[in-house]
A and B are shown apart, each in its own frame.
Chain A
């Protein structure tokens, strides 16, 4: 029963995909015939406009571009022409750095706050005020103080990943069941051992949820941040291709960004399953 549902869902997915491709092809092809272009404008647009078809590429064009990128993802021909693999590598590297830094800060601090009602109340207003600030609003401040665009992007990732992890760690730690803590107390377990053997495992599912939310936000923010700071990265690549009016590359990037985001999310989902305990 379950496998047949899966099979049917898979088939339906494929059908939807096929229908989408067909519609896309028809729509693009349909416009192209009727559209007459101002020759001067066409000249400005370069070859993509002079082919006589719509500037909006069809699925076949995008397919060809994807194939081209897949064949050679890591070429490097100067600052404005790097393979999509290299650009993704830059972005993933920045996200990884900023994110891991945030993990290293948020989880220990979250532990401290969660274990102390005093700290929790004292720091609450700061968290409440800083949490809703768009991470990009930090960008000018980061650029001004750090004076390095790449480091600033990492800082922005750091600042946007920290809040969900911090808040979830505080919550997870503070809601450790009293009876589990009492078990540790009756066994005269010291504070450090208690933190690692009772509180951490008890809070781990909540912490991992926070980490999963954070990685999602970080991956959303890196594209925007790289559009702002420029230079390298998939966000810069998208903006650059827009300036080149290479819509096929933009669409390819969208797909690739989605795929990487999904992989990152799935990695954390798997980690989350590892630490979740049934009750």
Chain B
């Protein structure tokens, strides 16, 4: 394996693929398909600022996709369009074969600032979502479902507390419980853990991962945390800096589906993907915006699948996980 090119790099539009993972997604595989969306805001002087345009991104059913990019590149805007809270200036988003129009109970959002209703208790907040989903359900059933969701995120016993009596991590859990309680098909998360301390973040990541694997959720998540993306995602979407941000490339996570957060840094391929992501954030997110490669095709950004690099091999050879653990 070459030292200079630790990755198998394939431009989606060329290169015949052997690897099933990096093959271009067939239309029957696409559960969500973002098709050429743009978002523009009016700028002073009658002009328009383009946050992003011609953005394409397909997602499979049950896939966990993370989006990484610098502040202001339009990640929240993409998520809001997926949620139906905002309409794209151009293009469409197709979910399960239908173009989305507005919000839907099938797509649950976990908001960055937890967005709990402060005048309701924990139970009241979750029950509000449940009763919106099943409008005619009797009260007892609503409460039962809500309590189940609250227990899933480990908050059983705090049902009657108000949000102001909860810690930041607990509030975020209530937000997760509220999203899960309505049995969504798609989970949209906007930096759900960024305001939390490392320890709480770790436990919540474990919980979200367990829940998503168990329920086969399709997830779109925005994060600033490279390790979080590596731990949770199947694919990581890299955005160049804004304005006029683009999907620079899509990184396929080479780590096995079965991951252990605490042993993540010993997994083969970990350093390769981590270095790749950090390199992107530090330099290429800017250089690529200024000069996209000639072969760049917005419909099919290159798909990168990092494999075992020299760094990984060295790390594993000298420090076997067993010794450290």
Q: Tell me the A residues contacting B by CB distance below 8 Å.
A: 179-180, 182-183, 185-189, 197-198, 201-202, 275, 277-279
Q: Please give the number of chain B residues whose Cβ is less than 8 angstroms from any Cβ of chain A in the complex.
A: 24
**Residue among B83, B118, B128 making CB contact with A277, cutoff 8 Å:** B118
| Measured CA separation A185–B80 after assembly (Å) | 12
- A-B pairs with beta carbons under 8 Å apart, 29 shown: A179-B113, A180-B115, A180-B117, A182-B85, A182-B109, A182-B111, A182-B115, A183-B111, A183-B117, A186-B83, A186-B84, A186-B85, A186-B105, A186-B108, A186-B109, A187-B103, A187-B105, A187-B128, A187-B133, A187-B182, A188-B105, A188-B132, A197-B128, A198-B117, A201-B117, A277-B118, A278-B118, A278-B162, A279-B163
Q: What DSSP secondary structure best describes chain B's contact surface?
A: loop
B107 located at the interface, meaning its Cβ lies under 8 Å from any Cβ of chain A in the complex? yes
Residues in A with CB closer than 8 Å to B117 are: 180, 183, 198, 201
- Is B128 in contact with A279, judged by CB distance below 8 angstroms? no
Given contacts A186-B103, A188-B103, A189-B132, contact A179 B119 (CB under 8 A): no
User: Smallest CB–CB gap between A9 and chain B, Å?
Assistant: 30
Residues in A with CB closer than 8 Å to B113 are: 179
Residues in A with CB closer than 8 Å to B133 are: 187
New A-B pairs, 6, CB < 8 Å, besides A186-B107, A187-B133, A275-B119: A183-B115, A186-B104, A187-B129, A187-B132, A188-B132, A278-B164
Residues in B with CB closer than 8 Å to A185 are: 84-85, 102-103
User: Smallest CB–CB gap between A94 and chain B, Å?
Assistant: 34
Residues in B with CB closer than 8 Å to A275 are: 119
Q: Tell me the B residues contacting A by CB distance below 8 Å.
A: 83-85, 102-105, 107-109, 111, 113, 115, 117-119, 128-129, 132-133, 162-164, 182
| Measured CA separation A198–B129 after assembly (Å) | 12
User: Smallest CB–CB gap between B263 and chain A, Å?
Assistant: 36
Residues in B with CB closer than 8 Å to A201 are: 117, 119
- Is A279 in contact with B164, judged by CB distance below 8 angstroms? yes
User: Smallest CB–CB gap between A201 and chain B, Å?
Assistant: 5
| Measured CA separation A275–B182 after assembly (Å) | 28
User: Smallest CB–CB gap between B31 and chain A, Å?
Assistant: 19
Residue on A nearest B114 in the bound complex, by CB: A179
- Is B103 in contact with A179, judged by CB distance below 8 angstroms? no
Residue on A nearest B115 in the bound complex, by CB: A179
Q: What DSSP secondary structure best describes chain A's contact surface?
A: helix
Residues in B with CB closer than 8 Å to A279 are: 118, 163-164
Residues in B with CB closer than 8 Å to A182 are: 85, 109, 111, 115
| Measured CA separation A188–B102 after assembly (Å) | 9
| Measured CA separation A198–B132 after assembly (Å) | 13
| Measured CA separation A189–B164 after assembly (Å) | 24
| Measured CA separation A264–B177 after assembly (Å) | 43
| Measured CA separation A187–B126 after assembly (Å) | 11
Residue on B nearest A276 in the bound complex, by CB: B119
Given contacts A179-B111, A279-B118, contact A188 B85 (CB under 8 A): no
Among B84, B103, B107, residue most surrounded by chain A Cβ atoms (within 10 Å): B103
Residue on B nearest A184 in the bound complex, by CB: B132
Residue on B nearest A182 in the bound complex, by CB: B85
| Measured CA separation A275–B118 after assembly (Å) | 11
Residues in A with CB closer than 8 Å to B107 are: 186
Residues in A with CB closer than 8 Å to B102 are: 185
Residue on B nearest A278 in the bound complex, by CB: B164
Residue on B nearest A189 in the bound complex, by CB: B132
Residues in A with CB closer than 8 Å to B111 are: 179, 182-183
User: Smallest CB–CB gap between A83 and chain B, Å?
Assistant: 44
| Measured CA separation A278–B116 after assembly (Å) | 12
| Measured CA separation A197–B135 after assembly (Å) | 14
Residue on B nearest A188 in the bound complex, by CB: B105
| Measured CA separation A179–B84 after assembly (Å) | 14
| Measured CA separation A184–B44 after assembly (Å) | 32
| Measured CA separation A197–B115 after assembly (Å) | 14
User: Smallest CB–CB gap between A182 and chain B, Å?
Assistant: 6
Residue on A nearest B105 in the bound complex, by CB: A188
| Measured CA separation A189–B104 after assembly (Å) | 10
Residues in A with CB closer than 8 Å to B118 are: 277-279
Residue on A nearest B85 in the bound complex, by CB: A182
| Measured CA separation A103–B319 after assembly (Å) | 74
| Measured CA separation A120–B79 after assembly (Å) | 31
| Measured CA separation A180–B114 after assembly (Å) | 10
| Measured CA separation A196–B84 after assembly (Å) | 23
Residues in B with CB closer than 8 Å to A179 are: 111, 113, 115
User: Smallest CB–CB gap between A191 and chain B, Å?
Assistant: 13
| Measured CA separation A198–B105 after assembly (Å) | 17
| Measured CA separation A198–B128 after assembly (Å) | 10
User: Smallest CB–CB gap between A274 and chain B, Å?
Assistant: 11
User: Smallest CB–CB gap between B63 and chain A, Å?
Assistant: 21
User: Smallest CB–CB gap between A78 and chain B, Å?
Assistant: 53
